[in-house]
């Protein structure tokens, strides 16, 4: 089947030439159409066209916005940040943290990566800077207290390491390379900082799922990391019935018809190449609208061309009570993992209007994979 051309952008001639050079240096064949052949530089709207199969790769480049920066204009290519071949698993020694370890070790084995177990501990030095009043009774001069905390942290980490070794020996965990890392500070901040410094392929975290109290909605470490992480985050509720990704047969991908969803989908499929599963494309809507279903059908057709071996379904889920509607859809269609793209928002919108991802990790026992794009 012939690979048809699609329009990536409509730009001025000068910017179109810059984008063409950037894309072709990345191995993407690029064409400029509607050029005034007599005076091309005065054309105000030329089309940059590429092969349809190159669209996900091209969108990743243009979404970064680096190609329009002074560096590109000055003929410097944008630097694409490369990550490490690691799976990051933040741990807090709870039962659901161990569940994340089990899933994370099996996942790392399948993608030939190593595991980093990260624990962040909180000491009195941070208490004075936080607005919690008399909640903390620590004194900065209380060195014995700090020593006791450090001893307890090291003891807990050694106990976790012993559990992991025992499970590796028994065959419950695969025998792969792993390291334990300790950091001092606010858990979500240190997890995000470590992720930014080391760029793991994925962060896998445990949650309490449906048993989580509503009051924890704002303060959850997992929710905060999901909202702000620049690498994919997989939240594993402690009641998740399976232990490894090989057991996943069907993934639901929530789309809002944004081109960033296309990039996220491409990233999802490429990062999960070792696994075999089908995908359900879901759109949340207040009412069933034929136009939404037409758009979903078009997206399915495009993805089917890009990934011919992938089984794809689509449906519209009512948004009026979407958590319960989504629960029903998950049960009816035997969904194993929910995937969505989370757009970066400011602190006020996150606190007073929690996003779908934040709501879902407290509502469902279904694992949630979130890919974030900056707004």
Count structural domains, the chain: 3
Same-domain pairing of 134 and 28: no
Looking at 197, 218, 237, the residue that finishes a domain is 237
Same-domain pairing of 55 and 196: no
* Domain range enclosing 12: 5-73
CATH code of residue 9: 3.30.70
- Residues of the chain with pLDDT below 70 are 1-2, 34-45, 63-83, 123-143, 208-219, 319-320, 322, 343-364, 372-375
Looking at 215, 237, 259, the residue that finishes a domain is 237
Torsion of CA 68, 70, 73, 78, to 10 degrees: -70
230: CB partners within 8 A, 6+ apart: 195, 196, 372, 374
Looking at 237, 265, 297, the residue that finishes a domain is 237
**Residue pLDDT, tens place only, 286-303:** 777 788 888 888 889 888
Same-domain pairing of 149 and 68: no
User: Long-range contacts made by residues 356-360, C-beta under 8 angstroms, separation at least 24?
Assistant: 356/254, 356/284, 356/322, 357/223, 357/226, 357/227, 358/217, 358/220, 358/223, 358/226, 358/227, 359/217, 359/323, 360/323, 360/326
Please tell me whether the overall predicted TM-score, pTM, comes out greater than 0.75 for this model: no
Q: Of 251, 198, 212, 277, which is closest to residue 367 (Cα–Cα)?
A: 251
Same-domain pairing of 129 and 190: yes
Same-domain pairing of 188 and 277: no
Report the distance separating Cα 211 and Cα 361, nearest Å: 11
Same-domain pairing of 91 and 221: yes
Q: Is residue 79 part of a domain?
A: no
Phi-psi category of residue 316: left, alpha or beta, with phi > 0 → left and psi -120 to 50 → alpha: beta
Please report the pLDDT score of residue 357 as a whole number. Answer: 66
Please report the pLDDT score of residue 49 as a whole number. Answer: 87
Please report the pLDDT score of residue 277 as a whole number. Answer: 93
Q: Is residue 80 part of a domain?
A: no
Same-domain pairing of 233 and 320: no
Same-domain pairing of 257 and 348: yes
Same-domain pairing of 303 and 348: yes
Please report the pLDDT score of residue 133 as a whole number. Answer: 40
Same-domain pairing of 198 and 121: yes
Same-domain pairing of 261 and 231: no
Same-domain pairing of 147 and 49: no
CATH code of residue 301: 3.40.50.620
Q: Is residue 114 part of a domain?
A: yes
């Amino acid at each position: 089947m012939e690979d048809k051309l699609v329009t990536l952008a409509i730009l001025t001639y000068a910017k179109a030439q810059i984008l063409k050079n950037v894309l072709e240096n990345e191995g993407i064949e690029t064409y400029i159409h509607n050029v005034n052949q007599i005076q091309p530089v005065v054309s105000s709207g030329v089309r940059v066209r590429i092969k349809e199969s190159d669209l996900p790769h091209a969108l990743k480049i243009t979404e970064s916005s680096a190609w329009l920066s002074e560096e590109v204009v000055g003929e410097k290519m944008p630097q694409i940040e490369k990550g490490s071949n690691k799976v990051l698993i933040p741990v807090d020694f709870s039962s659901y943290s161990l569940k994340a370890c089990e899933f994370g070790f099996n996942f790392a084995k399948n993608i030939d990566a190593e595991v980093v177990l990260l624990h962040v501990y909180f000491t009195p030095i941070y208490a004075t800077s936080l607005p919690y009043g008399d909640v903390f009774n620590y004194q900065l001069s209380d060195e014995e207290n700090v020593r006791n905390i450090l001893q307890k942290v090291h003891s807990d980490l050694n106990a976790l390491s012993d559990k992991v070794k025992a499970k590796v020996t028994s065959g419950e965990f695969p025998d792969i390379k792993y390291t334990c890392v300790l950091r001092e500070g606010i858990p979500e901040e240190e997890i995000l900082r470590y992720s930014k410094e080391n760029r793991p392929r994925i962060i896998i975290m445990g949650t309490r799922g449906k048993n989580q109290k509503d009051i924890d909605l704002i303060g959850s470490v997992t929710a905060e990391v999901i909202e702000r992480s620049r690498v994919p985050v997989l939240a594993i509720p402690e009641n998740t019935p399976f232990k490894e990704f090989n057991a996943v047969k069907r993934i639901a991908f929530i789309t809002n018809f944004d081109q960033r969803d296309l990039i996220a989908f491409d990233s999802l499929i490429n990062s999960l190449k070792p696994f075999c599963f089908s995908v359900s494309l879901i759109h949340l809507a207040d009412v069933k609208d034929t136009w939404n279903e037409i758009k979903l059908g078009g997206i399915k057709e495009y993805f089917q061309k890009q990934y011919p071996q992938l089984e794809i379904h689509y449906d519209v889920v009512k948004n009026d009570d979407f958590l319960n509607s989504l629960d029903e859809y998950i049960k009816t269609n035997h969904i194993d993992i929910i995937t969505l793209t989370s757009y970066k928002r400011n602190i006020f919108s996150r606190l007073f209007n929690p996003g779908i991802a934040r709501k879902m990790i407290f509502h469902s026992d279904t694992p949630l994979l979130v890919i974030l794009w900056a707004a």
